[in-house]
Structure 1
């Protein structure tokens, strides 16, 4: 399994889809161009922090739309006239033009899902992007246990849309499952800034943290023997939970931690409860071990 994230020769062409404009070229780049396809105008400035977050997401969404819209960027420090005419008072501000007229817009740094919905309100349903299609294939292969095929799909998605959190997270999970924690760590570092709170990325981060903790836990048989001698050896039970999770026994791992919470919920500054939360984040909100574990944890805590 040797996928490499880099520039893909199959990445969608972006020539003409994303341009910078000036006061002199605005009519050509926006007014006239919007008679062919909708044009998004990104008003920004170098000193604007949220602009630096929004622009890469806008560019990614426009590339994914594959020609359904264009993106024009305007630095209002260098070219203030148009922004003044439109009475733009704060940035980032995005205006959509169709048929030569501004028709919609928004201010602030929106997440990619909302930007895609905004684009579809202008251009109609654009369907899944090539990256989204590859991520779907990657998820299917991962669930089927085909890590090599999953890794290739996630890597191709990351080539299509560099830093995509689901692609980065999925590829990292493949490395984690093969024991290559260093490459998993390197892969996670490639996520784009707006993707750090994406559920699939945070799940991969949690999975890496768990894998790193499991490196020096000792033999499961030895841990069970310690518990037979002393069922309230919470450290042994805690280590056993991590070891079971590392072997893929999610339900068994959750059971052991729930037992600690039931015995002594405050042990080691609520370490068992906190570890359960990390398990649930790594498993994902829809996994049966998460659903069952959350119900049982709530029952213990609020009984």
Structure 2
């Protein structure tokens, strides 16, 4: 089985593989064709390594072909399983073992399958792959899905995939201690902006009205909300700024609120948001 997580151990690479346990745990399987139990364990171990998706490296050592290495490890029985972490053996099993026994051993030293899946989903979200991330998150155990951090991740994916009613329902169940987190505030801002835009006129109609009535803050408000919903955030902020920069309280402060909601939804790392934050601070302080 070709995989970056599975290697054949030999005299040329065994030192490098063991040194690799300083970064990623290495599970060595000592086997030989003369031991049917050890040979039969190879495929289940390969499947397990694929499921763990890089949380450990599976190193297969053929004791018949690599007798010198096997003797250095003092292998007494086949199969033998040895787990190395930070260059040192930390656990192991000797003699015929069901794959379940090896899984139980690994759970003492490695993240659980659900924890690995959660890490995988977070990577997907960072890459903008909200559809697949949502599928992974929804497959997690119920206990883990009830954690506040996981609920926020699921709500983010629901919003990004335009499942607004489900996102709203989930956000209502967020534990109180998470409601001061920036992540929660950003999600609520996204939802509020969607709700404001849901029944507004089409962008083209609003643009035409604003063009004929060039100084109408209510039209500017409605158009900016629509712009944001289709990710035209720079246009939305520029339009709002043309009013807010002259009067922070225009439309009883509603334009400023939408302006701030968009900045919050875009987050701290967004270049456009940073630009307008600086401009806002320049007139506030």
Give, in whole Å, the separation in 2 of the partners of 1:139 and 1:165: 14
* Residue 209 of structure 1, aligned match among 168, 184, 192: 192
Larger RCO: 1 or 2 (CA < 8 Å, sep 6+): 1
Give, in whole Å, the separation in 1 of the partners of 2:112 and 2:186: 23
The answer on 1:165 being equivalent to 2:148 is yes
Sort the Cα spacing of 1:253 and 1:170 in 2 relative to 1 into closer, same or farther, 3 A. Answer: farther
Give, in whole Å, the separation in 1 of the partners of 2:192 and 2:254: 15
Equivalent in the alignment of 1:252: 235
Sort the Cα spacing of 1:164 and 1:280 in 2 relative to 1 into closer, same or farther, 3 A. Answer: farther
* Structure whose CA Rg is larger: 2
Give, in whole Å, the separation in 2 of the partners of 1:166 and 1:293: 29
What per-residue deviation string (whole Å, max 9, x for no partner) do you get for residues 35-93 of structure 1?
A: xxxxxxxxxxxxxxxxxxxxxxxxxxxxxxxxxxxxxxxxxxxxxxxxxxxxxxxxxxx
Correspondence list, 1:185-204, <5 A: 185-204=168-187
Correspondence list, 1:288-299, <5 A: 288-299=271-282
What per-residue deviation string (whole Å, max 9, x for no partner) do you get for residues 222-243 of structure 1?
A: 1111221222111111111100
The answer on 1:138 being equivalent to 2:129 is no
Q: Is the CA contact 1:165–1:198 (under 8 Å) kept in the aligned structure 2?
A: no
Q: Is the CA contact 1:244–1:253 (under 8 Å) kept in the aligned structure 2?
A: yes
Equivalent in the alignment of 1:268: 251
* Residue 138 of structure 2, aligned match among 147, 155, 161: 155
The DSSP-based 3-state class of the residue aligned with 1:239 is helix
Deviation at 1:135, TM superposition (A): 4.8
Give, in whole Å, the separation in 2 of the partners of 1:129 and 1:217: 47
Q: Is the CA contact 1:285–1:291 (under 8 Å) kept in the aligned structure 2?
A: yes
Give, in whole Å, the separation in 2 of the partners of 1:271 and 1:130: 47
What per-residue deviation string (whole Å, max 9, x for no partner) do you get for residues 192-233 of structure 1?
A: 232221221221111111111110111111111122122211
Give, in whole Å, the separation in 2 of the partners of 1:243 and 1:158: 37
- Return 5+ residue gaps in structure 2 as ranges: 1-108
The DSSP-based 3-state class of the residue aligned with 2:257 is helix
Deviation at 1:164, TM superposition (A): 3.0
* Residue 242 of structure 1, aligned match among 200, 205, 225: 225
The DSSP-based 3-state class of the residue aligned with 1:265 is coil
Equivalent in the alignment of 2:166: 183
Give, in whole Å, the separation in 2 of the partners of 1:130 and 1:280: 36
Deviation at 1:298, TM superposition (A): 1.9
Q: Is the CA contact 1:213–1:242 (under 8 Å) kept in the aligned structure 2?
A: yes
TM-score between both structures, scaled by the size of structure 2: 0.55
Deviation at 1:143, TM superposition (A): 4.2
Q: Is the CA contact 2:200–2:226 (under 8 Å) kept in the aligned structure 1?
A: yes
Sort the Cα spacing of 1:205 and 1:137 in 2 relative to 1 into closer, same or farther, 3 A. Answer: farther
Q: Is the CA contact 1:195–1:201 (under 8 Å) kept in the aligned structure 2?
A: yes
The DSSP-based 3-state class of the residue aligned with 2:260 is helix
TM-score between both structures, scaled by the size of structure 1: 0.52
Deviation at 1:140, TM superposition (A): 3.3
Correspondence list, 1:56-205, <5 A: 134-156=117-139, 159=142, 161-205=144-188
